[in-house]
Structures are given as C-alpha cells and as structure tokens.
Amino acid sequence: MKMRRIGDSHTQSESRYNPIGKDAVELTFLSFGAGQQRSSGFDLEFGWTDVEALLSAFASQGHSEAIRIKNARVLATAVEALVQNSN
C-alpha cells in the first residue's frame, strides 16, 4: 500500500501490517515526507468492511482475482448453509 500526500509528488510504500484486535489492521508510515516537508509518522487503520469495499471496487473494475475472491465467498457461504441444513 502506498500513502501519498494530495497535491504533492511524494509517495511512500510500507509493508508493516500490525493486527489491532481481531477486527482491524494498522499500516504504519514512519516519518512521512521528504526534507522540510517531513512530518511525524502516520498510520492507517482499516477493518474488514474496508477490505470488502476494496474487493468490491477492484471487482467492479474487472480485476480477476477480486472477482474470484468474491465468487469463492459466495460458494463458501452456500457450502456452509448446505452443511448446516444437512445436520
């Protein structure tokens, strides 16, 4: 994931994902910015509903992996219902 300052060319990539409880993840950007533009660190916190929204956005753009994940979730839900009804 990249964080970018709006109206500026500076971007920073980061790959430190830290779990926050069981429903959210934090992504940390330390010392974001360059030179005198440098400011203290930023972090993003996102939950599962954010992940679902991202999947939907990618799927609506025709991204094949996002479509597969959405289809797999539908299939898993159907299998779980079938197993639950057979008991």
- Note the pLDDT tens digit of each residue in 45-79: 788 888 899 899 999 999 999 999 999 999 999 99
- In the prediction, which pLDDT does 44 show? 75
In whole angstroms, give the CA distance from residue 51 to residue 47: 7
- Which tokens belong to 17? 């994902």
How many independent structural domains does the chain possess? 1
The answer on pLDDT for 3 being more than 70 is no
CA angle, 4 as apex, 30 and 16 as ends, to 5°?
40
Q: What is the mean pLDDT of residues 33-43?
A: 63
- In the prediction, which pLDDT does 71 show? 96
Strands 24-29 and 42-47: antiparallel
pTM of the shown model: 0.65
Residue 29 domain boundaries: 2-86
**Rounded CA Rg of the chain:** 18
- If one compares 64 and 2, the residue with the highest pLDDT of the two is 64
